[in-house]
Structure 1
């Protein structure tokens, strides 16, 4: 198992927050998150070449993990720290640390952490009170 940094992300200015209780809300999260970053709605089937689309993908995967394995509600926050976006996905299962396993076959879970590690500058997790947070940093597009 590869190690994920057990530390808090840098301090951020919160841009937007979403509270999710079920997987049916993920579609709304994707569109709203993309709009929060770019000012434009994410088009169906749009390529994941750019930072906003990668943030949306990682947010969706981490939120799916939190909804599946954590206790509701799942809280997704988008913040900014200087030249970086910080995505923070929280659930209320502090005793279930995230497990990253490189090379895990598709369909066997863990895809959210694999995408986060591949697409972000840094990932980590921490527990605050009764809440577990998994976070990822992305560059702010020029």
Structure 2
């Protein structure tokens, strides 16, 4: 079966207050960043309650964008997480501006590569844009 993909739309995300930043240099950095992220979101509270409704999906989304940038983009890779008034903005920048994010639409799940679609399904919005720094792929999570 032919694989159909649709690139995410090119547009800017909403403004967000910067909170956390990482600069992974390779896939070996991902377990450390996931642990650090889990620690940070467990400590982050809004009105005394956990600020992240679904920590597993949150970590999965960050991991998916980071690993895609490291596997399919060009280094250096920058990971930023910020807050809008009512959502989380996850942004990953790599240098492969010519290669926008394209979730697989009809790939056999056994072949992998379904992460972008899963992340988009959980997101309030997603997209990407190019700047002098590179390709910025972003998702907005509740």
Map of 2:41 onto structure 1: 37
The structure that has the greater radius of gyration is 2
Unaligned runs of 5+ residues in structure 2 are: 45-52
How many residues are treated as equivalent by the alignment? 130
TM-score (normalised: structure 2): 0.83
**Against the structure 1 CA distance between its residues 81 and 93, is the aligned structure 2 distance closer, same or farther, given a 3 Å change threshold?**
same
Map of 1:66 onto structure 2: 69
CA distance in 1, matches of 2:7, 2:92: 18
Residue 89 of structure 1 and its aligned partner are, at CA, apart by 1.0
Q: 2:82 aligns with which of 64, 79, 83?
A: 79
C-alpha RMSD of the superposition: 1.7
CA distance in 2, matches of 1:111, 1:67: 16
TM-score (normalised: structure 1): 0.83
CA distance in 1, matches of 2:90, 2:98: 21
Map of 1:44 onto structure 2: none
Q: Deviations over 1:74-112 (max 9, x none)?
A: 111110010100110111111111112223223545323
Unaligned runs of 5+ residues in structure 1 are: 41-49
Map of 2:17 onto structure 1: 13
CA distance in 1, matches of 2:67, 2:30: 8
Q: Which runs of 4+ in 1 moved over 6 A?
A: none
Map of 1:53 onto structure 2: 56
Residue 57 of structure 1 and its aligned partner are, at CA, apart by 0.4
Check whether the contact 1:74–1:90 (CA below 8 A) recurs between aligned residues: yes
